[in-house]
């Protein structure tokens, strides 16, 4: 890992890069600035935490993908709901065709480790500030550190689900010349560390930062609970997942936005709604990267065939009573099946390029209800799970043709139904591949055929045999480590499936 390129130095001066961060500051590394020049006051800690959030946006080194791009691409391209668009981007087409090569720039993880180092910096260098600033209480310190622990855990959570075994660094890199030579650790160890970080964060995170918008853009105790529940689902610890989901549900702080003419605008255009738990923030001055990628250049689009399967028409229904998550929400058929959640103003009008500031939603209440349903189903309460699923479906006016047809007493049937409902509720929110993988790998890959059958449906005819053979190997379910990282870090070993490529 080229730490020189991603270092976020704790001993630095700071400046405002873009007013679109509001008062969020991006801290530029500057070699030679001694530690004593910074980390003196609670304001310094606040500035560093704000810089940590700014690094989640589209601020990155030239030639590397940003965190929002990776979250969307890693979560969608390998699955069945996104398809290649009218223009070719080799990084996407190679992944779609099963050619996962270590020189694909989409596998560069620099932006994630850069933010991780920002978090490490806050955790490490904030510790002594209360001794220098008596007005900085221990509770305030721990609250700031909780935000850093939670964001670090979130970054590692994406890396864990995408690469499996990865290097972990839990201390700050404070010198641009410092090299990072760390071996990978097993993915099970990574997940345990993620949960450890989140448990600390949960104990110390604030319930609110004072206003609803800030509470959606910065970590609160509810944000931590959402990530923790998700991590516990991956660990197949459903009782712990259920506990943190109950905390969110029983708080009364969140609800589904009512189905009315304003629901799309409230949730996806205005953002930071009562349904939202955590969003990566954008505005007029810091635009998201999706307009250029998928509106102007049409590198990816929704799969027309899959949209008919996920959102089937009900021949007995009034055309005006279709699932509100379908055409005009998740995608727009008349706009070449573009990802409408990022481009629409309403179900008909599109944003202009300079209006491309839809936030990237990481967790929202609809997903919380479906996560709780999954936990209930796996804990032997499938009928209770169906009740929660129906809350989500009723808001969406889900088509009767997608009604549950399995046994209400079968946890397997209900859990599979939840996966289907997640495809509708969370379409193109960077979740699909991770959902497929998590479901497939449960109980020692008892459902591996879910992945294989998906690949058989979406692979080009000439690639079906090759791709299905690859995806039958569970080692292929994780990306290769980029060749540049292997060259820079002699302790780093390639993921086993890709050795020798």
**58 by DSSP, 3-state: which?**
coil
Token match 């002594």: residue?
128
List, for residues 41-88, the tens digit of each pLDDT value.
999 999 999 999 999 998 766 778 999 999 999 999 999 999 999 999
CB 212 within 8 A of CB 272: yes
Check whether 308 has a pLDDT greater than 80: yes
**498 by DSSP, 3-state: which?**
helix
The token duo for 357 is 């500031």
| Contacts of 323 by beta carbon, 8 Å cutoff, 6+ apart | 311, 396, 397, 398, 399, 402, 424
Q: At 314, phi and psi to the nearest 5?
A: -100, 110
Q: At 327, phi and psi to the nearest 5?
A: -60, 130
Domains of the chain, first to last: 3-202+476-498 (1.25.40.390), 263-447 (1.25.40.390)
CB 368 within 8 A of CB 248: yes
The token duo for 316 is 């007995």
Check whether 269 has a pLDDT greater than 80: yes
Check whether 23 has a pLDDT greater than 90: no
pLDDT mean over 249-268:
97
Burial 6-23 (b: 16+ CB within 10 A, else e): bbbbbbbebeebeebbbe
For residue 390, the model assigns a pLDDT of: 98
CB 54 within 8 A of CB 21: yes
For residue 176, the model assigns a pLDDT of: 61
Check whether 185 has a pLDDT greater than 90: yes
Check whether 146 has a pLDDT greater than 60: yes
Check whether 332 has a pLDDT greater than 70: yes
Question: For 32-41, 299-308, 433-442, which range has the lowest pLDDT when averaged over its residues?
Answer: 32-41
pTM for the predicted model, two decimal places: 0.93
Check whether 27 has a pLDDT greater than 50: no
Neighbours of 189 (CB within 10 A): 14
Helical H segments across 169-237, by residue range: 187-204, 212-217, 221-234
For residue 313, the model assigns a pLDDT of: 85
For residue 244, the model assigns a pLDDT of: 98
Output 2 or 330, whichever has higher pLDDT: 330
Instruction: Report d(CA 278, CA 336) in Å as an integer.
Output: 29
Give the single-character DSSP code of 296.
I
- Burial (CB < 10 A; 0-12, 13-18, 19+), residue 260, is exposed
Instruction: Report d(CA 24, CA 478) in Å as an integer.
Output: 34
Give the single-character DSSP code of 311.
S
Instruction: Report d(CA 206, CA 203) in Å as an integer.
Output: 9
Categorize the per-residue pLDDT at 37 as very low, low, confident or very high, splitting at 50, 70 and 90: confident
Categorize the per-residue pLDDT at 3 as very low, low, confident or very high, splitting at 50, 70 and 90: very low
CA–CA distances in Å: residue 314 to residues 184, 320, 391:
50, 11, 20
CB 326 within 8 A of CB 338: no
Categorize the per-residue pLDDT at 365 as very low, low, confident or very high, splitting at 50, 70 and 90: very high
List, for residues 472-487, the tens digit of each pLDDT value.
999 999 999 999 999 9
User: Which is it for strands 166-167 and 300-302: parallel, antiparallel or unpaired?
Assistant: unpaired
CB 225 within 8 A of CB 248: yes
Assign residue 32 a region (left: φ > 0; alpha: ψ between -120 and 50; beta: otherwise): left
The dihedral sign for the CA sequence 163, 165, 171, 176? negative
For residue 376, the model assigns a pLDDT of: 98
pLDDT mean over 366-386:
98
Instruction: Report d(CA 129, CA 392) in Å as an integer.
Output: 46
Output 418 or 34, whichever has higher pLDDT: 418
Categorize the per-residue pLDDT at 384 as very low, low, confident or very high, splitting at 50, 70 and 90: very high
Percent of the chain residues past pLDDT 70, beyond the cut: 90
Instruction: Report d(CA 363, CA 26) in Å as an integer.
Output: 24
Categorize the per-residue pLDDT at 33 as very low, low, confident or very high, splitting at 50, 70 and 90: very low
Cα–Cα nearest to 186, from 160, 155, 221: 160
Percent of the chain residues past pLDDT 90, beyond the cut: 86
For residue 444, the model assigns a pLDDT of: 95
> Over the chain, what is the mean pLDDT?
91
């Amino acid at each position: 890992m080229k730490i020189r390129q991603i270092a976020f130095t704790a001993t630095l001066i700071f400046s405002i890069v873009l007013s679109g961060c509001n008062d969020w500051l991006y801290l530029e590394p500057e070699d030679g600035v001694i530690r004593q020049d910074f980390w003196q006051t609670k304001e310094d800690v606040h500035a560093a935490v704000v810089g940590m959030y700014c690094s989640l946006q589209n601020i990155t080194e030239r030639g590397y993908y940003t965190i929002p791009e990776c979250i969307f691409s890693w979560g969608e391209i390998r699955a069945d709901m996104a398809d290649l668009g009218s223009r070719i981007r080799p990084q996407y087409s190679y992944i779609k065709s099963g050619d996962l090569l270590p020189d694909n720039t989409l596998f560069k993880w620099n932006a994630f480790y850069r933010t991780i180092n920002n978090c490490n910096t806050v955790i490490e260098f904030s510790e002594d500030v209360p001794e220098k600033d008596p007005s900085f209480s221990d509770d305030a310190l721990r609250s700031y550190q909780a935000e850093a622990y939670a964001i670090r855990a979130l970054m590692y959570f994406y890396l864990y689900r995408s690469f499996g075994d990865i290097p972990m660094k839990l201390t700050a890199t404070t010198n641009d010349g410092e090299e990072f030579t760390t071996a990978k650790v097993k993915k099970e160890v990574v997940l345990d560390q993620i949960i450890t970080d989140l448990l600390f964060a949960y104990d110390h995170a604030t319930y609110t930062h004072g206003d609803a918008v800030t509470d959606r853009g910065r970590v609160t105790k509810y944000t931590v609970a959402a990530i923790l529940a998700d991590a516990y689902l991956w660990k197949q610890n459903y009782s712990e997942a259920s506990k943190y989901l109950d905390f969110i549900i029983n708080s009364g702080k969140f609800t589904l936005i009512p189905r009315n003419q304003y629901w799309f605008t409230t949730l996806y255009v205005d953002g930071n709604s009562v349904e939202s738990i955590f969003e990566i923030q954008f505005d007029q001055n810091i635009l998201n990267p999706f307009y250029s990628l998928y509106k102007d250049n049409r590198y990816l689009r929704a799969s027309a065939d899959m949209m008919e399967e996920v959102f089937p028409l009900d021949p007995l229904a009034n055309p005006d009573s279709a699932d509100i998550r379908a055409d005009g929400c998740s995608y727009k058929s008349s706009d070449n099946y573009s990802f409408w959640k990022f481009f629409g103003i309403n179900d008909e009008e599109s944003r202009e390029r300079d209006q491309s500031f839809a936030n990237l939603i990481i967790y929202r209440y609809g997903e919380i209800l479906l996560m709780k349903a999954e936990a209930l189903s796996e804990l032997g309460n499938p009928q209770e799970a169906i009740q929660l699923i129906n809350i989500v479906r009723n808001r969406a006016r889900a088509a009767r043709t997608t009604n549950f047809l399995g046994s209400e007493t079968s946890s397997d049937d209900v859990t599979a139904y939840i996966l289907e409902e997640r495809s509708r509720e969370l379409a193109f929110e960077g979740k699909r591949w991770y959902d497929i993988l998590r479901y497939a790998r449960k109980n020692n890959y008892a459902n591996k055929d879910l992945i294989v059958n998906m690949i058989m449906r979406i692979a080009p005819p000439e690639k079906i045999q090759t791709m299905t053979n690859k995806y039958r190997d569970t080692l292929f379910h994780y990306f290769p480590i980029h060749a540049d990282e292997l060259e820079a870090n002699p302790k780093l070993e390639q993921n086993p499936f890709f050795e020798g490529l």
